[in-house]
Amino acid sequence: RKRVRTHYLREMKQRGEKISMLTVYDMHTAAVFDEAGIDVLFIGDSAANNVLGYETTIPVTVDELLPLVRAVARTARRGLVLADLPFGSYQASPEQAFHTAVRFMKEGGAHAVKLEGGAEVAPQVDKLATNGIPVMAHIGFTPQSEHALGGYRVQGRGDAADRLVHAAEAMQDAGAFAIVMEMVPGDVAAQITERLEIPTIGIGAGVGCDGQVLVWQDAFGLRTGKMARFVKQYADLHGVLLDAARTFDAEVKSGAFPGPEHTF
Ligand code: KIV
Ligand code: NA
């Protein structure tokens, strides 16, 4: 199957075909999601709180994310490999954003990068887009700004809807090839999606977006505990792994494993 590229995502929008995107942080999940036909394989900075044991995305560094990007890029045959720029690695200047994005492409093998923010990061988006680096924007609730936003809450309600529309237009005008919208009222997200030529990818933004993204450990039930309302659980991997690990533990301790067929 042909490699997914940014212009193909735009054609999908024009044809009314939906775009699928999942987070992915290692080789075996990359191979499975790629085989399943997931269009965008996304190494989110959510690796912080899904792989590396941090509580939020704020502490994770470029050096910590790069090996995960490399693992996915080496494995994926079809999906677009998209790397997240972590907090503090792009906000200071367009030059800083360019330097960081180049590392993700040269050292990580990413095909595109994503960053959070609206008009305030337009110079960064423009710098990348005009220098050969496809960039996806991320508006609405932006986890790297959770302390400024006052925690996890829906963005763009009421009067704030206009600001969100402007943020989306600023990102398109700056050259973004797509926009993630996180925790945005469904009607506002649908309205933005209709106005834009570039695809929108929703997470907690309703069915009116051009595509959907979820964190895979949430969607497939590896993580347990309280989930955001926008998560749909497609599998119970926690349960599957827990059963397998318990059975292994029991068989080791009883001597049932290894059997003669596992022994040289
Ligand atoms: O890092 C992440 O997981 C994200 C979301 C859009 C899924 O940015
Ligand atoms: Na992210």
- Other CB atoms within a 10 A radius of the CB of residue 14 amount to 10
**45 has binding-site annotation:** yes
Q: State the catalytic residue, choosing from 11, 182, 194, 251.
A: 182
How do the domains of the chain map onto residue ranges?
Answer: 6-233, 237-264
For residue 45, report the distance from its CA to the centre of ligand 1, in Å.
Answer: 7
Query: Which ligand is the nearest neighbour of the Cα of 44?
Result: 1
Alpha helices in 47-185 (DSSP H): 47-50, 62-75, 94-106, 122-129, 146-149, 160-174
Q: Residues 229-259: pLDDT tens digits?
A: 999 999 999 999 999 999 999 999 999 999 9
Query: Is 232 a known ligand-binding residue?
Result: no
Burial 108-117 (b: 16+ CB within 10 A, else e): bbbbbbbbbb
Give distance in angstroms: CA of 25 to centre of ligand 1: 12
Query: ipTM score here?
Result: 0.99
Give Cβ neighbours of residue 184 (< 8 Å, ≥ 6 apart): 139, 140, 141, 154, 155, 156, 164, 192, 202, 204, 205, 206
For the domain made up of 6-233, the CATH class stated in words is alpha beta
User: Annotated binding residue at 46?
Assistant: yes
- Which residue(s) pair with 23 in the sheet? 42
Rounded to the nearest angstrom, the distance between the alpha carbon of 201 and the centre of ligand 1 is 11
To the query of whether residue 182 is one of the catalytic residues in this protein, the response is yes
- pLDDT average per 10 residues of sequence, the chain (264 residues): 95 98 98 98 98 97 98 98 98 98 98 97 98 98 94 90 97 98 98 98 98 98 95 98 98 98 98
